[in-house]
Amino acid sequence: MVRRIGILLAILLVVGHAVRSAARLPTLGTGGAAAITRMFEAAVEKGDVPGVVAAVTNRDRILYLEAFGKRDVANGARCPGTRCSASRR
């Protein structure tokens, strides 16, 4: 009886691990991040948008965060990397 319970617990442990492993969170590879960067850089260069902040997340972490273009169109202030907050008056 004890042996059967031990075997059952071992099976449940293996199945639980397999289910948990199968439910991995989405990721963003370097190719995907590069494509996002190219798309927004092109949009800013063409003048489609003056500036944009792009973020891609899954439920646990930020996968991509970047800012492009101008943060203040009237004064021509550019977005410095991933920091592009609106100016406060």
- d(C-alpha 63, C-alpha 57), whole Å: 5
- d(C-alpha 70, C-alpha 10), whole Å: 58
8-63 pLDDT per residue, tens: 555 655 555 444 544 688 888 989 999 999 999 999 999 998 988 899 998 889 99
Amino acid identity of 5?
Answer: I
Please state, as a whole number, how many other Cβ atoms lie within 10 Å of the Cβ of residue 42: 11
**Which of 63, 60, 65 lies closest to 27, judged by CA?**
63
23-32 pLDDT per residue, tens: 688 888 989 9
**Which of 35, 38, 31, 33 lies closest to 57, judged by CA?**
33
Instruction: Give the global pTM.
Output: 0.62
Percent of the chain with pLDDT over 70: 63
